[in-house]
Structures are given as structure tokens and as C-alpha cells.
Structure 1
Amino acid sequence: MRILFLHSNFPAQFRHLAVTLAQNPRHQVVFGTTRKEGQLPGVAKAIYAPSRQARPETHHYVRPLENAVLQGQAVYRLCEQLKAQGFIPDVVYGHSGWGPTFFIKDSFPKAKLLCYFEWFYHAHGSDADFDPAEPLNADDEARIRIKNAPILIDLYSCDRGFSPTHWQQQQFPPEYRDKITVHHDGIDTKFFQPKPGHKLVLPRLNLNLSHVEELVTYVARGMEPYRGFPQLMETIALLQEKRPHCHAVIVGENRIAYGKSLPDGKTYKDVMLEKFSLDLNRVHFTGLLPYPDYLQVLQASSVHIYLTRPFVLSWSMLEALSTACLVVASNTAPVTEVIQDGVNGLLTDFFSPQAIAERVEEVLNHPNGMAALRVQARKTILERYDLSQLLTQHIQWIEQANTL
């Protein structure tokens, strides 16, 4: 089978799939991407580049669609080059929403088109209107509706779709859900393993917390309201008042990955550090970490905080569970598909730092009494999200598409 993966941010969700398929001599794997950095064994990279970005004069509702069309055009040109080199895929598997899959049915009409559907946007009932302090106006509602245009084109064009959780699949229009298989990518449970008694020492960052008995951890791509960063910082402030030996490690970049930036150019980290008088000797910002260092953070965690609006579920929460972290998480729809309160983690009110801090203290006050939740956390991942099982099923799903 010849398969073409498409994702602007190589290798993203397709890392394990591409590598495993490439190990089979019956398969030829090409990965189309805009990212020049990085390689995968046995996988041929093919670089595409949009000719320009959406023009400033384009209506702001339509700029994402214009950028998607430009991505699609760049991929179309890439496909013409691949055909000239003799590569005609049996299956094309791309991430929906940014446009690379737009013209695949024109480039390769006999190929099966598979799309990874991560999110369908709604003005009401999920992420956009979750915070009552940020009411939507008519302009927001219209912009969000048009934002789905690239995804709707893919829903129509694709032969099969894939969504990692039931919550995410349920965001898509009912008339298209039959096309979308719910199947998580999988967590590498052999890598994300617990290490009881581990203490955090990261020489690269000159960070030595080997003396710390109470370590609160938090992981996100950015520092933003979508992932509860303001609530986290207030929670840390409350914990510092009561627990003089409690430290916090925050993994992620000082940027906005999801949602709106602040109008004055400040970051949420700046704002929260100005708002709260924190002992910064006990708050450690690591930035993004390589996987071995990130694993050490999870393995040393006394309690891990995960907060999210009703939005895409983060891999980091599942990786924390796999590492047998005691996760205190927001009682929101994507989380409750995985965590049962008091069974494999603890749930709390997204908007209440006081409630979050109280749940964290439950754990810190009873470090041995929560052992059963840690065991059940890892068991949840082993039974439902283990990469070694799900990867095989995912590959079978791709191969079955080729026979449709």
C-alpha cells in the first residue's frame, strides 16, 4: 500500500502510524508537510509551501478559509510532483481544518481519503461560550460559523473520518457522524510508566527538587484561559499561603495556543505574576521540555492539575494518568469521558481556585491514602488507551479503507 500523510506540523498525530507502516516492506510512506525539521525512519518527507498568506483586506471571517485554500493549492502542486516521480497513493490521510486535503480527490481520484477530525466549532454549548465573563456577540457567532467551512468540505469529500474521543466526535453535525470512527491515537504506556519515589532533578535547567516532598505539576502547550492557566496560578497562590514547603512545576510556553491574545500585548503569565505575590523560589517554569525531562516531571508529581474548557482533550492528561499521577481535573465534558471522580482521579470546578486548591490538599494531606486512585489511573490507560493495542487497530482501519 502506498500512503500519503498530510499535516503541516510534522509528524504530529501521525508519528507512530507513519513509522510503523514504513517498517512493513509492503508499504511506501510519504509525509507531506510544511515543516522542514525532523525525520522519521523509512518515511519520505515531501515539503510544500503556500505561495502567500491570506490578504489583510480579506474579510476576517474568511481569512482562515483563504489560508486553507492556499494550503490546498500548495498540496495540489506537491501531488503533481509526486505523480511525476511515479508515486500515486492508495490512501491519503490528512488532518482536517487547515486545507491540505481540499483537492486530494482531484489530484488522486482513485485514492481513499481519510481525515483526522479534531474539532468542529460551535458558538454555544462547548468552548466558545463556556466562560460567562466572555459573552459572545453577533460578530463572534458569525465568525465561528464560517470557521467550519474547511472542515465541512472535508466531511463531504472524505471516505472515512477519525476522531480521538466520543466528546470530540459528538461536536460534528449528526448527518456526518456515521463517517467518523472514534478511536484514540494511543498513549505509549511503556514510556509513560510510574516511578515511585522519584525526585525531580533536571540538570539542563539547573533545577534540583530532590528535597521537595509536595510537588504540584501542570502541563500545557501554552499559558491561557482555555487550559485554566489563570485558575492554576490563583490555586498556587492559595497553596503557598497554607503549605510553606509546596512547590509547583509548570511545563509549557509563555504563549497562547488556543483562544484570544490579550489586547495590550501582555501574556497571561505576566498578568498573573503581577496579580499574585508568589514565592517564585517555589514556582518553576520550565518551558517546553524534551520527552525524557517531561516524563521525569510526571514521575515526580505529588498531584497533577489538568484544567480545560469543553474542548479538545489534551494528550498530557492521559500521559499523566499513564504515569500514575494523581490528577485533579476540571469537571468538564472531555475530562469526564476518562476520569471518574474518586475512582481514577479527582474532579473539581474549573472556575474555582479555592475548590481546586482544596482537592489538591486532599491529596497532599493523604499521600498514601490515594494510592488506589493512582493504580486505577494507570489501569484506565492500559485498558482503553494503550498505544500497543490501538496502533494495530488504527493501521487495520487504514488498510480496510483501501479495500472499500
Structure 2
Amino acid sequence: MRILFLHQNFPAQFRHLAPQLAARGHELVALTFNQPPPTPGTRVVRSSTTHATGAGHPWARDFDTKIIRAEAALQSAKRLRDEGFHPDLIIAHPGWGDALFVKDVWPKARFALYCEFFYAATGTDWDFDPEFRPVEDPADSGARSRLRNLPQRMLFDIADAGISPTQFQASTYPPEMRERIMVCHDGIDTAQVAPGPAQSLTFSNGTVIEQGEELITFVNRNIEPYRGFHSFVRALPSILERRPNARVLVVGRDGTGYGAAAPQGTTWRQHFMNEIAGRCDTSRILFVGALGYSMFLNVLRMSTLHVYLTYPFVLSWSLMEAMATGCAILGSDTAPVREFISDGKTGRLVDFFDHAGLADRAVELLGDPAQRARLGAAARARVIERADLHSVVLPRQLAWVDALLAASPRVDDPPV
């Protein structure tokens, strides 16, 4: 069978599924806008565009960008069609608009969506944090969130099925969409992502961290409020005062991720570290930027306590990886985290905004190695039970693909 993937950062969430499908003998093609790493058995076709977003209504610019991308992907799809490529199944991430028109090229293909998140004006990320809540009329927020979701609504009209990595993320979709979504995590290779001996860490500034040191770890792809960096930093003076031997290691880039950019001329790291300047020994807080994967896993194996905070939003792979390595987790009491961390069983939870409570709970855990060991072992067991790549995820994902390939497509004629 022929399978087409659409994802601007391919392989991304399909990094495990695509090679498995290729190994089964399927012919795979990926349409993407970025240069991906090599993916065994997959032909990559890159789309590009010279169009720029127009200067129309500000609310329309996001959708305009998606239409520009969709038109570029459409041209790539037509070239593939003219070469004789006709997919039996299309699996697409709907978030960037790339997939909007591919069903017009291949109307008889089965069509499935990776359902990462459906925006809402209330109840999830948009209005969660009063400190960074958009200053606008709620009616405006509702209008803007519906516009952000418009590509997904258009695609669900013609989609046969969806897949979402967590129950929380699936729950953000309207009922008429949710009934077609299977929940299955992207998968953690718990044989590789596992407890084990760690090597001492040496960084470019000469800092060395040895096995056995009291180390608090915090990981963001981009250091920003969406992942609770402000709450974490505000807890550090109290933690470091009460745990004089503790050190803090922060993994992540300075940059804009999911939320707004930092105030002009600064970064979120600088902005919040300025808040605690003079209140603690900041030389004990080490920012190491982005790390290679083996170094990242080594950091987790060195961790005494791993802190993970997030808005009600997409759950980070880093939490699951920290759990799989047996870290003791201190997480935010928010819906995505509660799905995997049960307070007192697989980790501890604290109110996202309660930095004093976060400090108290961190100090408690740092002083209780027996509790940390118990929580870390239970955290790893939960990941193995729910998200182990080989025993849980790939069998479910492959069965999902098989069912789609065996089914008739939802729409047999081109959409109008």
C-alpha cells in the first residue's frame, strides 16, 4: 500500500510509526516544508513558497499563512500525482494548513489526522494564566480561537479518523470530532529511555556535575510561561536557601514557543531571572540550552528531582521520558499532567501558580530519598503500562493503520 504523510517537521510524531510501516513493505512519501533527518524507507518531498502573508485583517493573517502553505503543498501533491503516485492512505497534521487541499488531488484516499490540540477561548491554555492572559473582550477571544480551528474543522469534514496522544488532548475536540479520534501516545522506547548509570556532566563553561549531587532538573523546548518557567524560578530562592547543596539545571532554548514573545530586548529567561537577582546564589542555576538526546537522557539519570509544569495544553514528551528514566516528578496539578501523574503514587502535584507550595514540596522530596525512589519506580511502571513503544504503542498504531487501509474512505468524491 502507498501511504502519504504531511507534517511540516516530519517525522516528528510519526518518527516511530513511519519506519515500521516501511519495514512492512508499504511505499511511503512525506510532504514537508523543513529538511527532516533521514527516515528509513520514506521518500521526502519538500514544498516551498515565495508568497508572503498579506496585510489584511490581523485576525485573518494566521489563516492566510495556512492557505499559502496549503497551496504550496497542493502543487507538490499534483506533481506527485502526475508522476503516478496515488496514496491509499494520507496521514496529516492539520495544524499548519498543509493538508487542506490534498484530498482534492486524491479523493479516494483514506484520510486521517493527528489531533494535537483544538483551541478554545476558555477552559484550556488561552485564559489559564492571569499574568499573561490576552487583554481583550471575551467575544474577541472566542472569534480568534474559532479562526485558529477553522482548518481542523474543514479537514474533519472529510477525515476518516483521527489519533491523539492523550485523553486530555482528545477531549479538547468537539464531540462530533472526538468520536472519530483514537487515543494512543506517540510512544516511549522504555528499553532506551530507562534508569541506568550516569556519566558526570561537563559543560562548556567548565561546570562539572557529578553523580550523586543534589540536582533539580527542569526541561522546556523553549523557556517560556506556557511551561511554568516563571513559577519554577519564583520557587528557587526558597529551595536553594533550604537545600544549600542543591543545584539546578535548566534544559531549553531562549525563544518563542507556544505563547507570546518576551518583552522587547529580553528573553523570558532573563526576564524572570531578573526577578530573583540578589535573592539567591544564581551561580547554582545552570542553563545549558538544547542538548543532544544522549546527553539529555544522561541529565535525567542524574536528576534528584524533576520539575514539570504546564498550562492545560499539549503534554511534553520530556515528562514521559523523565518518568521512564525513573525520575521523581514534581508536576503541576493541571489536566495534562494528572493523566499520568497521580499525586502520591507516580509523583507529586502542586498548584501551577503556587511557587511557595512548589518550594515546600520540592524541599520535602529532596529530603526524602525513600519517597523519591518509590515515586520514580511507579512513574516508570506507568509509562511502560500506557506508552511503551513496542508493547503498547506500535501495535495500536499499526492496527489503526490496518483498519484505515481496510475501510472505505469517508468521502468518495472531491469535496466542494
User: Shorter-chain TM-score: which interval?
Assistant: over 0.9
Distance 2:209 2:62 in 1: 44
Q: Please give the residue correspondences for 1:187-202 in structure 2 after superposition, counting only pairs within 5 Å.
A: 187-195=188-196, 198=198, 200-202=200-202
Deviation at 1:206, TM superposition (A): 4.4
Name the aligned partner's letter for residue 378 of structure 1. R
1:130 touches 1:309 (CA, 8 Å); kept in 2?
yes
Contact 2:235 2:356 in 1 (8 A): yes
1:64-83 matches, cutoff 5 A: 64-83=62-81
Q: How many residues align?
A: 401
The aligned residue for residue 154 of structure 1 is 155
Q: Which amino acid aligns with 1:372?
A: R
Report the Cα offset of residue 353 of structure 1.
Answer: 1.2
- Rate the CA distance shift 1:37–1:171 in 2: closer, same or farther, 3 A: closer
Counterpart in the other structure of 1:376: 378
* Aligned equivalent of 1:35: 34
What is the distance in 1 between the residues matched to 2:220 and 2:45?
30
Partner of 2:23: 23
Distance of 1:165 and 1:38 partners within structure 2: 26
Report the counterpart of residue 340 of structure 1 in structure 2.
342
Structure 2 residue matching 1:238: 3-state secondary structure: helix
Distance 1:204 1:88 in 2: 50
SS in 1 for 2:400: helix
Q: Residue 143 of structure 1 aligns to a residue in which SS?
A: helix
CA distance in 1, matches of 2:265, 2:158: 40
TM-score normalized by structure 2?
0.93
Separation (CA, whole Å) in 2 of partners of 1:207 and 1:78? 48
Corresponding residue for 1:245? 245
Secondary structure at the aligned position of 1:368 is classed as helix
**Aligned amino acid, residue 318 of structure 2:** S
Mapping of residues 327-366 of structure 1, within 5 Å: 327-366=329-368
Report the more deviating stretch, 119-128 or 81-90: 81-90
What residue in structure 1 maps to residue 168 of structure 2?
167
Which AA in structure 2 matches 1:251?
V
Secondary structure class of the residue paired with 1:162: strand
Contact 1:331 1:348 in 2 (8 A): yes
Structure 1 pair 280–13 and aligned structure 2 pair: CA distance change class (3 A): same
Q: 1:402 maps to what in 2?
A: 405
Unpaired runs of 5+ residues, structure 2, are 408-416
> 258-267 or 5-14, which moves further after superposition?
258-267
1:163-211: CA deviation from partner (whole Å, max 9, x where unpaired): 1111111111112211111111111111110126x35414667442016
Whether 2:231 is the aligned partner of 1:231: answer yes
User: Which moves more between the two structures, 146-155 or 36-45?
Assistant: 36-45
Deviation at 1:37, TM superposition (A): 4.4
C-alpha distance in 1 between matches for 2:357 and 2:217: 17
Q: Paired residue for 2:414?
A: none
Cα distance in 1 between the residues matched to 2:7 and 2:208: 38
Q: Which one of 91, 94, 97 corresponds to residue 92 of structure 2?
A: 94
State the alpha-carbon separation in 2 of the partners of residues 211 and 178 from structure 1.
48
- Equivalent positions of 1:211-360 (< 5 A) are 213-277=213-277, 278-360=280-362
Listed one character per residue, the Cα deviations across residues 213-234 of structure 1 (whole Å, up to 9, x for unaligned) are: 2100011111111100011111
Question: Corresponding residue for 1:58?
Answer: 56
Distance in 1 between residues matched to 2:204 and 2:19, nearest whole Å: 29
1:340 deviation in Å? 0.5
CA contact under 8 A between 1:92 and 1:113: conserved in structure 2? yes
* Secondary structure in structure 2 of the residue aligned to 1:186: coil
In structure 1, the residue matched to 2:145 is 144
Match of residue 102 from structure 2: 104
Match of 2:46 in 1: 47
Distance in 2 separating the partners of 1:207 and 1:28: 48
The CA distance in 1 between the partners of 2:313 and 2:211, in whole Å, is 37
1:133-158 deviations in Å (ceiling 9; x for gaps): 34442233322221111111112121
Q: Is the contact made by 1:212 and 1:247 (CA closer than 8 Å) also made in structure 2?
A: no
CA RMSD of aligned residues (A): 1.6
Pairing 1:177–2:178 present: yes
> Structure 1 residues 262, 11: closer, same or farther in 2, change over 3 A?
same
Q: C-alpha offsets along residues 363-404 of structure 1, whole Å, 9 cap, x if unaligned?
A: 111113332211111000111110112112102201210111
Q: Is the 8 A contact 1:48 1:74 kept in 2?
A: yes
C-alpha separation between the residues in 2 aligned to 1:316 and 1:143? Answer: 30
The alignment's TM-score, normalised by the length of structure 1, stands at: 0.95
Return the alpha-carbon distance in structure 2 between the equivalents of residues 37 and 245 of structure 1: 42
2:4–2:89 Cα contact (<8 Å) kept: yes
Aligned-partner SS, 1:287: coil
Cα contact 1:200–1:297 (8 A) shared by 2: no
Residue aligning to 1:6 = 6
Question: For residues 200 and 92 of structure 1, what CA distance do their matches in structure 2 show?
Answer: 45
